[in-house]
Each structure stands twice: as C-alpha cells, then as structure tokens.
C-alpha cells in the first residue's frame, strides 16, 4: 500500500513560485493578514503589519496566483476577444479600444482569430469557457441567421456566469452591438448619385457575413430609389483583403469596362481596388473611376488619392463592447447600434463624359 508520503511525492509539482503562505511567514503574520494587505481588502490592518507584508512581498517578488484566486472568487481576470483576422485593420482598431478598458480593469485579454470560420468561432468560445473567462467579445461579424452551434456554446458560457457581447451577429441570446451598416451603404449610394454616376460596381467580401450583407443591402436599396444601376453581375465577391479587392476589380472591369464607380465594402479591399485600377487597368482615380470604401481604417486618409469611405468608430466599438460585458447583465438581450457616417475625400468625383 502506498504511503501518504509517496502519494504526496507523486502529486506535488516542483515549483519555486513564492506563495502567500511564504510571504506571511516571512512577515511574521497570519495568512489572512497577508491576504488582506495584498488583495486590497477593505478590512483594516495596522500600518506596521501592512509595511511588513508589503516589504516581504517585494523582497520575495511575490505575485498572487491568479488561478487560485479565480478558484475562490469564481471569476477570473481573463476576457476573450474573438476576431476574424488579427492582421486586418478592423480587428486591430477594435482590439485597441477594447484593450484600453481591459487595462483600466486590470484584465488579461486572450485573442482568437477565427478566419471567417464559424466552427473556429465556436471552438474559441468553448476554450474560453474551459478557461472560465469572465467575458467574451465576439468582434468579428457573424453569419446571417447565425449558427446553432455557436448559439449553444454561447448559452453554455453565459449559463456558467460569463458575459458575451456580440458585434454584428444574429441569433445569439446576448447583447448585440451592430453598426448601422445599412445607413452607411445608403449614404454611399446617395453620394455617387449626387455626383452624377448612373451605374456602379461592387467589390464585396463573403455575403454570408452580417456586416457584408447589411452594407450591400443599404447600398442596393438606396441605389434603386435614386436611379443608380447596380447589376447583380457587377457585384464581385472576394476575400476581405487588399489582394481580394485587387483580383475582384480585375474581374469586374473585364465584365464591365464602362463602370465609372466602384464601391468596396471594406477599406482593405478598397486599397486593392485602387491598386488594380492604377497598376493593372491603367485607370485614373477619381478622373476615370470613383472609388468608395467602408470602415475608415487609418490608412484611408493617407493613400493617394485619399479614400472616400464610411466611417466606423471601431475603437469605440471595442471600448463599448467590453464596458457592456463588464456591466450588469440586462433582464433580456439588447440590440444596440452604433452610428456610421460617410467621409468624403479625394477618391470620388463626378464622372467624365464618354469620349472626353
């Protein structure tokens, strides 16, 4: 029969981490007193003991054991952020805003890139649930109609006491924050029509995404009202990247070389549109073709010509999403919106008459 000593030896880990117990011993106080001093408890501890504990903790380079603390408090300092791609400016801006709030609350952020894969989105939520994360912000747009697997996983996470804030998602039983994409799309159509364009092409990302579909819907609806023709065959779908936008533009102008305007449903794609028009198609922007993006990423102002685009307050979305996640849970899920606005720059102009 194995002795208790043997059992201990097989189970104890070799560790040099300083524990609260060691700090307490070093300071000559009880574990509880050391905990009160170091955890910011509102219980009073005599100044002399406080000094001794703080001095011992500093000398031993003590940091509290987060998993152990989480065990007691049933909450962790971990929050999850699920985006589509950490490389895109959209994710970077949202992350930056969210990080500000996380820093203020001393939270650790774990970022998961789902690469437009709903299964991967679901997997990240499951992993964050296993880590007992305090909250999750699903920042990458969801798919139209939502996915039952993701909804189920989100439900399991919230049942466990976690909070989830979804940005541009449908069918999730949590607070949802959605930019007024449709308004932005409508503003683009109005702008092109007001300049005198009568026909436009569209370069868009996966139409299964809520964000893409809503932007497109607003644009197409308003275009129809304003007499701006947008043919189905002039809507080209590609990856939401610069290269995707570039390839889509080449395809688009092969089909419709006469187009005087292109609406890219994402700024990264719009950069690809500009590159294709300049380098592959020999067209001038905006003299030959007007280009509009969506997102107002930092680069939009700096490219030549500067990009007319729809401004999305991305950092604000990140800040607001995490603030909501850390606030009190509402009685029922809320649908919250964020305004969008058109920013007119140098990439759009009135069309030149044919032959001039």
Residues that bind DNA (CB under 7 A): 1-2, 4, 6-8, 10-13, 15, 17, 19-21, 29-33, 35, 38-39, 41, 43-46, 49, 64-65, 68-69, 71-74
Can you read off the two tokens belonging to residue 39? 């955890």
Can you read off the two tokens belonging to residue 183? 């308004």
Closest listed residue to residue 107, CA positions, set 70, 72, 140: 70
15: number of CA atoms within 13 Å, CB side? 8
Question: What is the smallest separation between the CB atom of 27 and DNA, expressed in angstroms?
Answer: 9
Q: How are the residues of the chain apportioned to helix, strand and coil, as percentages rounded to the nearest 5?
A: 45, 15, 35
DSSP 211-249: HHHHHHHHHHHHHHHHT-B--GGGEEE--SSHHHHHHHH
Question: What is the smallest separation between the CB atom of 58 and DNA, expressed in angstroms?
Answer: 15
- Residue 1 or 331 with smaller CB distance to DNA: 1
- Residue 2 or 353 with smaller CB distance to DNA: 2
For 79, 102, 107, 133, 142, the CA distances from 326, given in Å and listed in that order, are 10, 10, 11, 12, 22
Measured in degrees and rounded to the nearest 5, phi and psi for residue 83 equal -120, 180
Instruction: State yes or no: cis peptide before 240, omega within 30 of 0.
Output: no
Can you read off the two tokens belonging to residue 15? 């560790």
CB atoms under 10 Å from CB of 224, counted, come to: 12
Please give the angle made by the CA atoms of 333, 91 and 115, to the nearest 5 degrees: 90
Question: What is the smallest separation between the CB atom of 164 and DNA, expressed in angstroms?
Answer: 18
Question: What is the smallest separation between the CB atom of 153 and DNA, expressed in angstroms?
Answer: 16
Question: What is the smallest separation between the CB atom of 25 and DNA, expressed in angstroms?
Answer: 10
Contact 348, 292 (CB under 8 A): yes
Closest listed residue to residue 66, CA positions, set 58, 76, 53: 76
- Residue 11 or 61 with smaller CB distance to DNA: 11
Question: What is the smallest separation between the CB atom of 327 and DNA, expressed in angstroms?
Answer: 20
Torsion of CA 140, 145, 151, 154, to 10 degrees: 30
- Residue 63 or 86 with smaller CB distance to DNA: 63
- Residue 129 or 191 with smaller CB distance to DNA: 129
- Residue 15 or 332 with smaller CB distance to DNA: 15
Question: What is the smallest separation between the CB atom of 113 and DNA, expressed in angstroms?
Answer: 26
Alpha helices in 136-241 (DSSP H): 148-159, 181-195, 210-226
Question: What is the smallest separation between the CB atom of 174 and DNA, expressed in angstroms?
Answer: 21
- Taking the alpha carbons at both ends of the chain, their separation in whole angstroms is 98
Question: What is the smallest separation between the CB atom of 330 and DNA, expressed in angstroms?
Answer: 24
């Amino acid at each position: 029969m194995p002795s208790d000593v043997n059992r201990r030896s097989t189970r104890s880990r070799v560790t040099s981490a300083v524990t609260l117990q060691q700090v307490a011993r070093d300071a000559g106080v009880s574990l509880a007193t050391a905990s009160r001093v170091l955890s910011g408890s509102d219980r009073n501890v005599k100044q002399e003991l406080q000094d001794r504990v703080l001095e011992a903790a500093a000398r031993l380079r003590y940091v509290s054991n987060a998993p152990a603390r989480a065990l007691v408090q049933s909450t962790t300092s971990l929050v999850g952020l699920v985006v589509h791609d950490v490389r895109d400016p959209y994710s970077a801006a949202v992350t930056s805003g969210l990080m500000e709030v996380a820093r203020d609350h001393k939270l650790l952020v774990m970022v998961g890139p789902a690469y437009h894969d709903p299964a991967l989105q679901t997997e990240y939520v499951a992993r964050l649930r296993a880590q007992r994360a305090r909250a999750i912000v699903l920042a990458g747009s969801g798919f139209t109609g939502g996915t039952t697997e993701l909804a189920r996983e989100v439900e399991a996470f919230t049942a466990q006491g976690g909070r989830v804030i979804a940005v541009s998602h449908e069918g999730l039983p949590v607070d949802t924050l959605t930019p007024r994409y449709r308004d932005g799309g409508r503003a683009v159509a109005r702008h092109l029509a007001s300049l005198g364009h009568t026909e436009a092409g569209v370069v868009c990302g996966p139409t299964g995404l809520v964000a893409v579909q809503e932007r497109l819907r607003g644009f197409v609806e308003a275009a129809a009202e304003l007499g701006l023709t947008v043919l189905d065959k002039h809507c080209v779908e590609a990856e939401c990247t610069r290269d995707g936008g570039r390839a889509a533009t080449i395809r688009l102008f092969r089909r419709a070389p006469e187009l005087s305007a292109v609406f890219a449903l994402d700024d990264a794609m719009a950069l690809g549109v500009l590159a294709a028009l300049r380098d592959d198609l020999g067209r001038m922007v905006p003299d030959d073709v007007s280009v509009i993006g969506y997102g107002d990423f930092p680069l939009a102002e700096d490219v030549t010509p500067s990009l007319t685009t729809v401004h999305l307050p991305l950092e604000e979305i990140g800040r607001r999403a995490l603030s909501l996640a850390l606030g009190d849970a509402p009685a029922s899920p809320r649908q919250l919106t964020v305004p969008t606005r058109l920013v007119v720059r140098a990439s759009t102009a009135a069309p030149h008459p044919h032959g001039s």
